[in-house]
Structure 1
Amino acid sequence: MTADGGFESTVARVLEQVFLMDCVTRTEGYYTVDLHERNVVEDAVDLDFEALYDQPTAAQVRTYLSIPFEDIEDAVPRWKLTADVVPKPEHAETLPFLANDLAKIRTQTETDIESRSVHDGLATVEDFFGPSSESSRSTLIRSTRASQSGSSGPFEEHVFRPPESDSIEQAYVGDGVPIRASKLTTEAFMRRLRYQPSEDTRTSVIVVSNEEEMADENVVSEIYGTREWLDFDITIRHELTTDEMEDVLATDADFFHYIGHVDEEGIRCSDGWLDARTLEEVNVSAFLLNACKSYEQGRALAEKGSIGGIVTVADLLNKTATDLGKMLAHLLDGGFSLFSALELLERKSIVGNHYLIVGDGNAQIVESQAGSPYLAKVDYTDEGMSVSLQFYPSKNYGIGSMVTPKLGTTVKRYLSGNESEPHLLTEDRAEFFMDHGFPVEVSGSIYWSEDYPFK
């Protein structure tokens, strides 16, 4: 079996094919369920799955790979993760973790990365993103230094754009700041293994609003904790000093949402700037630094103890940051991982690509009430409103998990990562959209279900 593009693409295709066929074969034996992907495969190939189920693994794999990939390609779930890894000895420690996530691995040399780099400095980073009103200096942005001088300082690492992938999540292991991807580190993966949940079963979220002019985003303190079946402890703090901010970051909390300014000197507080690189310990598990060019400070939080967090790599208008901050709060409260939340943020707004993840993007605040979080895709036909559900893998419902759409009376199951067949919504529209919170995509725009204007 071969695939266009050489060794790496062939390995990726083998992984997809063997994975799919093994999931389908397992519907014999213990998992006797009506799986959508099995129906698709059975329509495309002539296999005796009952006999195949009892064969040794080696024989099963030979049978799987005897099938032309094109015949079953439509049944393969959208892959969870593609990781670009710079082949250095110190990066080898990440490979077992990436293998555990069933990541497609691509190697990128330092020469490859350099050829995709943009120059340091805010102006050229903004040029890289393309023309945008985000660069306007006449409107409040979330970097006080930038609003005064036109630059919030260079990155310590070069900025570059990794090759695109068709996976839900894209990550990078190596030096540099990867635009539209997440930067993974061995330390973050190891921290995942060492993580010990608190004996307190409540999910703790701390929201810090350090700028009165950004108060519109304070509403996120009401978005977190809307899951009635979970116990939350939500705290909102205002105008913290550097000492108070240091104490908050040392708190054993599940999530830290910062609203304010970030500069090359650090996180702005009421009495100055707190440089996260000087902290001795950070105990918040995950975070969002919703401020302009917060990458360096976020990277420091991840290095000092956080599992992972969402940061920015460019200036943002305050209104834009507020809107995206609210959407991120909804997604994280809805059970999406940092990885999946970022993918949807980029679909909601072109400015979503100004955000990236440092550390481990698999981090979640809570599990989805539906098991596997999903995006509802709405389309209007002559018959009415049609809805399909795109399922996203999560920590406890990884790719290969079975999910059942809450659409009509269907009992058909799908592999997480795939999209359900369309279902026509009629009189049950309001019940569907208000059942629990989830993102909705219609005509290329993303809404939250409870705010969806076309119920």
Structure 2
Amino acid sequence: MVNVEFERVDGGLRIHDHIESVTYEIGLDAASVEPADTDAFRVPLTRAVDVTTDELVFPTLSGIFVHEGDRVTLDVTPGERDDRGPGTYEIDVSAVRLKLYVRVEDAPLSVDSTGDRTVVDFGGPTTVRIGVRSLHEHPAGTVTITDTPRDLMRAVSTFGSAMKTTSPERSFPTMRGHPPTIECGDSFDAPADLAPPDTDVRIEVPERYEDVYAVSTLAYYLCATVVPGSSPRVVAGGRSFAFPYDDVSRSANALLRHCFTLDCVVRTEGLYPVDLAERDTVTERADLDLAALYERPLAARTAAYLDVPLAVTDGVFAWHLTADVEPSIDRAELLPYLVNDLPFVRSPAPDADVTATAPDPTTVSEFFRGTDVDAFVRSARPDDVDDARAIDSNHEAGGRVVSPVDAETVGHAWIGEDYPRGASKPTVESYRRRIDRTVAEDTVIDVTVVCNDPEMREEAANLYGFRDMIDFDIETHFDLTVAETRAALESETDFIHFIGHITEDGVRCRDGTLDARTLDAVHADAFILNGCRSYAQGMALVDAGALGGVVTLADVYDRIATTVGRSAARLLDAGFDLHGALNVATENVAAGSHYTIVGNGGVTLCQYPFGCPKVAVVDSDEINSESLTVSIRDYITRDVGPGTFTSPIVTDSPIRYLSSPADHEFDLSHQQFDEVLSSGRAPLLVDGELHWSDEIDVSILSERT
């Protein structure tokens, strides 16, 4: 089976990306769908088809770029409509988890992105070519290194070979390929096609593991060679720039954000001349010749960027992920997978505290609002809570629980020993499995819910399947035996949601306990293991084949567990990855810090229809009789990475923003806000509490003021 497949369906064309589990449907009235080549498109695509139709109907409010030759002749944001006379056009359709292009020759077109869909009308029957490229990326090759910092430098120097361009457009996620993988061996070896790119940019750092790790993402993004040097610096086009801070990690991360932000601004002089909010902010702070910067080669442009004070880009763009990396050769094989996500890297990791893991009744009491804070926890059945607490409190399950120093980013990965509170613990195998994911035979998302305690059934009800464009097959099981639970965890499914009690020996079943470390294989991509101290059992699921999952590091009260479990499930259903879902689900939940992620925190369950998943943030103090202030916060995912444009649907302004976890504020009338709420099911944080747009309106919010 091919990775990308077109299917003619009643009333339209359905596109399947089997590897990424993406289904997207275009409305059209074509009688047939004919295979076509992709050569006519200006960008590389995987497959294409020809159809004859009057119009194309996209089921979401999409941003539309219409290219005529080398220029953008039409830029339509959600809420707008526009048209052009006869011509040859290439239409770039955004806001889907695949690259979708439409080519039409000698035809007029009109674009209407109002209401709840986007319509491209050709004025009559017209033959159009629809092309698609999957966002699934494979590393281009493997570099073998010995256990020396110098060889690690040479390996990191090859990372830039994965960039598809050295122009400012490399700030688009689709222009950044996966860095070559690393393996350890007896001697250094790198295929010829992975040679460091000849960019005249290099980074000099002391020959230490921690310094090489610290500059790895910066080297990848700058297409730089990393070489030994006594004083950390960047050399670009023959000019030298000392690192701005004494700390190598802090400096590298600051320079990465600075250069990346300036690229995003400068690229508006190129293929996508959009009205970008961040451009206005930067040009207000500094007098920059953006057109001249766009035309410069990489080394000269990098040098010019480094002449610009860091304060010019400070706070313009919020980063999405931080990785704390232990400075050991043992972490080298994981590095390319981390760098592919473009994280800040801290190495050595700031000291983490070993902290107590029992819930704090004082903190919890506010959440329970005066009810019995000794309500049972999920480590055992109600009649033996104390015994279970005693057992679990002394059980380290192969590692301590530590509290890493807070990162400024939503995502936080811990690459070291122990189990981190508030950060994911990825493994090489979990990343490799995602890269090597095989083609699925269908596009239905299979979810297996197992609830092994009758008093927890509330969490199991109505968890998934709220999305119109996604097919779910949900199987819910209650009170299973050990054998039945084993069969459920080992089944061919996409997602597992376990609800129940967990002890040091495993997950509780009707007739005993199942230790996940005895499972033969886990086929699910991701999971929620919602019981007390489930981190060791969750890591066993990752070791057995899962990509990643949500687990707990401590005893959790049942009401808290139900709140977090249901919220995380619905956020995953809405297109968030594990990092984003857990961040939002625990925003205002007592003891929410007891949850963490094992394996790959970038795993998603399904696609979000408008680019990056978004959360609307409302403060009831900002609501008056006529209007309210709403902040829109984007959550970067692996499929819609940093550098993506976004057009908030709360306004019909043509201004675009860079997708990031930063809050973008908008003042809306009550009617405008209710129209936004009715446009689709989406999460809202109201005074820090999670709600859903189909369950609330302005009148309900106004009652809180």
TM-score, normalised by the number of residues in structure 2: 0.60
Q: Are residues 1:399 and 2:637 paired? A: no
1:139 aligns with 2:379: no
Partner of 1:235: 475
Deviations 1:60-101 (A, max 9, x none): 11111111111221312x111111111121211111111111
CA shift, 1:5, in A, is 5.2
Counterpart of 2:348 in structure 1 is 108
1:408–1:423 Cα contact (<8 Å) kept = no
Question: Which structure 2 segments of 5+ residues have no match?
Answer: 1-241
Counterparts of 1:419-434 in structure 2 under 5 Å?
Answer: 419-434=663-678
**Looking at CA atoms only, which structure, 1 or 2, has the larger radius of gyration?**
2
**Which stretch shows the higher mean deviation, 128-137 or 152-161?**
128-137
1:34 aligned to 271, 275, 282, which one?
275
SS at match of 1:252: coil
- Alpha-carbon distance between aligned partners in 2 of 1:151 and 1:137, rounded to the nearest angstrom: 18
Residue deviations 1:131-179 (CA, integer Å, cap 9, x gap): 5459978412111176041324212211111111101111101110111
Confirm whether residue 117 of structure 1 aligns to residue 354 of structure 2: yes
1:301 and 2:541 are equivalent in the alignment: yes
Instruction: Tell me, yes or no, if the aligned pair for 2:627 and 2:667 is still in contact at 8 Å.
Output: no
AA aligned to 1:184 is: P
User: Over the residues paired in the alignment, what is the CA RMSD in angstroms?
Assistant: 2.1
Deviation (angstroms), 1:129: 9.8
Tell whether the 8 Å contact from 1:387 to 1:425 is kept in structure 2 after alignment.
Answer: no
CA distance in structure 2 between the aligned counterparts of 1:131 and 1:393, rounded to whole angstroms? 30
Q: Verify: 1:182 aligned to 2:394, yes or no.
A: no
**Partner AA of 2:571 in structure 1:** L
Secondary structure of 2:313's counterpart equals helix
Structure 2 CA distance for partners of 1:400 and 1:86, relative to 1, 3 Å: same
Does residue 202 in structure 1 map to residue 438 in structure 2? no
Q: Which sections of structure 1, spanning at least 5 residues, go unmatched?
A: 119-123
Aligned to 2:183: none
Shift of 1:128: 8.2
Residue 390 of structure 2 corresponds to which residue in structure 1?
Answer: 151
1:409-424 equivalences under 5 Å are: 409-417=652-660, 418-424=662-668
Letter in 2 for 1:451: E
Residue 336 (str. 1) matches residue 576 (str. 2):
yes
State the Cα distance separating 1:362 from its structure 2 match: 0.5
C-alpha displacement of 1:424: 1.6
Deviation, 1:387, is 1.0
User: Bigger relative contact order, structure 1 or 2, given CA contacts below 8 A and separation 6+?
Assistant: 1
Residue identity opposite 2:679 in structure 1: D
Q: Residues 351 and 197 (structure 1 numbering): CA distance in 2 closer, same or farther, change over 3 Å?
A: farther
Structure-2 residue corresponding to 1:449:
693
Segment drifting more, 268-277 vs 301-310 = 268-277
Q: CA deviation at 1:299?
A: 0.5
Please identify, of 364-373 and 420-429, the stretch whose mean Cα deviation from structure 2 is larger: 420-429
Classify the secondary structure of the residue corresponding to 1:233: strand
Matched residues in 1 for 2:451 and 2:284: separation?
Answer: 56
> Could you say if the C-alpha distance between residues 216 and 98 of structure 1 is closer, same or farther in structure 2, counting changes exceeding 3 Å?
same
Q: CA deviation at 1:207?
A: 0.8
Counterpart position of 2:27? none
Note if contact 2:532-2:553 (Cα within 8 Å) is conserved in structure 1.
yes
Mapped to 2, the partners of 1:74 and 1:144 lie a distance apart of 46
CA–CA distance in 1 between the matches of 2:272 and 2:653? 18
Separation of aligned partners in 2, 1:132 and 1:217: 19
Deviations 1:274-324 (A, max 9, x none): 100011111111000111111110010001100000000111111121111
Aligned residue number for residue 404 of structure 2: 162
The one-letter amino acid paired with 1:405 is P
Cα separation, 2, equivalents of 1:106 and 1:424: 40
| CA deviation after TM superposition for structure 1 residue 257, in Å | 0.6
Cα displacement (A) at 1:108? 3.3
Separation of aligned partners in 1, 2:694 and 2:396: 39
Contact 1:35–1:413 at 8 Å: present in 2 too?
A: yes
Between Structure 1 and Structure 2, the one with more helix by share is 1
Which segments of structure 1 move beyond 6 Å, counting only runs of 4 or more?
127-130, 134-137
Aligned-partner Cα distance in 1 for 2:272–2:432: 33
Q: Provide the rounded CA distance (Å) in 2 between the counterparts of 1:289 and 1:95.
A: 27
Residue in 1 that maps onto 2:632: 389
- Secondary structure of the corresponding residue to residue 230 of structure 1: coil
SS in 1 for 2:375: coil
Contact 2:631 / 2:663 at 8 angstroms: preserved in 1? Answer: yes
Is the Cα contact below 8 Å between 2:465 and 2:471 reproduced in 1? yes
Task: Give the match for residue 126 of structure 1.
Answer: 358
Is 2:338 the partner of 1:98? yes
Distance 1:324 1:188, change over 3 A: same
1:252 deviation in Å? 2.1
Identify the range of structure 1 (2-11 vs 408-417) with the bigger mean alpha-carbon deviation: 2-11
User: Structure 1 or 2: larger strand share?
Assistant: 2
Match of 1:121 in 2: none
TM-score by length of 1: 0.92
% identical aligned pairs: 36
Structure 1: how far apart are the matches of 2:361 and 2:431? Answer: 30
